[in-house]
Amino acid sequence: MKAFLPFLAVIFLVLLVIVGVKAASLYFLFGVIVPYAALLTFLAGVVYRAVKWGRTPVPFHIPTTCGQQKTLPWIKQSKIENPSTTGGVVVRMLLEVFLFRSLFRNLKTEMHEGPKLTYGSDKWLWLAGLSFHWSFLIILVRHLRFFTQNVPGVVQIVGSLDSFLQIGLPLLYITDVIFLAAVAYLFIRRVAIQPVKYISLAADYFPLFLLLAIGCSGVLMRYFLKVDVVSVKMFTMSLVSLRPRIVPGVGTLFYVHLFLVSTLFAYFPWSKLMHMGGVFLSPTRNLANNSRMKRHVNPWNYPVKVHTYEEYEDDFRAKMKMAGVPVEKE
């Protein structure tokens, strides 16, 4: 059920746009209004969420340390896993964001007879996650050729590297394959691995189905059903130059793709996908373990009621004197 409803939702979205474009000819709605609205929602939503996080203070200095602390000069510090400087934190964050350092640690715990516990390396989630995110990024960068006059050299290089195997025409992009395979794996593990199935919510399946549908519609357009890419680019360029116009002959499939992407963008800020921004703000990763060296200030630190020494001595003066413990007041 948790997987089925999101599946239906994505099917519904696809049907909606097909009917809207084919039967009702709502080209302007699906081609212009929805994409603009989606992008604005995305930009404003992400900023809103980031500002909301930003306005919430970090009261305490709580890095998770994963290596030797800075200590005596002859003990080697683990400067990245347990950074004490901003530089170390930056490297730690870069590793986290670009290589999924923490996920790379993943272990598979197994209980055998005895009981006997074993811990084996388990890198599949890391591999699939990293493959998915990197191929998605490369695909996004490649798409810039639809959104720029005089396509920047970097975008062209990314495109040609991605297709260097020269399979078929139009050339097969390796990332298209990796993207679909990785998303499929991420879906399958959610239904096949029992604990993961147990923790999965509709909000976990929906983005996966959406991404799969986006990937499939894109692949269909490029490799199978073929759209006239020049018309597509004329249309997308009209969008980015803020002079939107409908270009005839781009095909329904393109509208499906565009609508699903719009849905993803609009959905993004209100969902778990915000981990994209959140990972940068995680106080267990982005703080240096230097709280003994430098005082961390809590903006809402307030005075609290304490049991003072004087009160304590009043309670125990006689006993303290009897035991020979010095007192302030005789």
Partner 1 sequence: MFCWGAKAKSLNAVGFPNARDWNPTEEDWKLPENWQEIFLEGMRERLSKYRSFRLFMDICVRCGACADKCHFFIGTGDPKNMPVLRAELLRSVYRRYFTKAGKMFGKLAGARDLDLKVLKELWYYAFQCTECRRCSVFCPYGIDTAEITIIVRELLNLLGLNIQWTMGPVADCYMKGNHLGIEPHTMVNIFETMCDDIETLTGIKITPSFNRKGAEILFVTPSGDFFADPGTYTCMGYLMLFHELGLDYTWSTYAAEGGNFGFFTSNEMAKRLNSKIYAEAKRLGVKWILGGECGHMWRVMNQYMDTWNGPADFLEVPKSPVTGTVFENARSTRMTHIIEFTADLIRHGKLKLDPRRNDHLKVTFHDSCNTSRAMGIFEEPRYVIKSVCNHFYEMPDGTTREQTFCCGSGSGFNAGENMELRLRGGLPRANAVKYVRDKYDVNMLANICAIDRAALTTSMNYWNPGMGVTGVHELVANALIMTGEKKRETNMRGDPLDMPVEEPEAEAGAAAPADKAAGGKANV
Partner 2 sequence: MYNGGKIFFGIIVFLGIFTFPVYYNIGKADTTPKPSLNTPVINQMKVKHCVEPKAFMRANHMQLLNEWRDSALRQGQRDYVSSTGETYNISLQNTCLHCHSNKEKFCDRCHNYMAVHPYCWSCHFAPGKENKL
Q: Choose one: 39-47, 232-240, 243-251, 317-325; the region binding partner 1 (CB under 8 A).
A: 317-325
- Taking CB under 8 A as the rule, which mask of x and - marks residues 183-202 in contact with partner 1? ----------x-xx-xxxxx
Applying CB under 8 A, does 312 fall inside the site for partner 1?
yes
Closer CB to partner 1, residue 208 or residue 219?
208
Unique residue bearing structure tokens 């990937």: 215
Farthest-apart Cα atoms in the chain, separation: 99
Both tokens of 46, joined, read 């992400």
Size of the site for partner 1 (CB under 8 A): 94
Nearest distance, CB of residue 307 and partner 2, angstroms: 29
Q: Is the peptide bond before 59 cis (omega within 30 degrees of 0)?
A: no
Helix (H, G, I), strand (E, B) or coil at 112: strand
Applying CB under 8 A, does 257 fall inside the site for partner 2?
no
Pairwise CA distance, residues 188 & 191, whole Å: 5
The number of beta carbons lying within 10 Å of the beta carbon of residue 122 is: 14
Given a contact cutoff of 8 angstroms between Cβ atoms, the answer to whether 207 and 261 are in contact is: no
Applying CB under 8 A, does 278 fall inside the site for partner 2?
no
Residues between 55 and 84 with contacts to partner 1, criterion CB under 8 A? 56-72, 74-76, 78, 81-82, 84
Applying CB under 8 A, does 305 fall inside the site for partner 1?
yes
Unique residue bearing structure tokens 């097909």: 18
Closer CB to partner 2, residue 174 or residue 184?
174
Given a contact cutoff of 8 angstroms between Cβ atoms, the answer to whether 316 and 330 are in contact is: no
Applying CB under 8 A, does 296 fall inside the site for partner 1?
yes
Helix (H) or strand (E) holding 183: helix 174-192
Residues between 136 and 165 with contacts to partner 2, criterion CB under 8 A? 144-145, 147-152, 155-156, 159-160
Instruction: Report CA Rg, the chain.
Output: 28
Applying CB under 8 A, does 281 fall inside the site for partner 1?
yes
Nearest distance, CB of residue 237 and partner 2, angstroms: 7
Residue 295 CB contacts under 8 Å (≥ 6 apart), including other chains: none
Residues between 79 and 108 with contacts to partner 1, criterion CB under 8 A? 81-82, 84, 96, 100, 102-103, 105-108
Applying CB under 8 A, does 220 fall inside the site for partner 2?
no
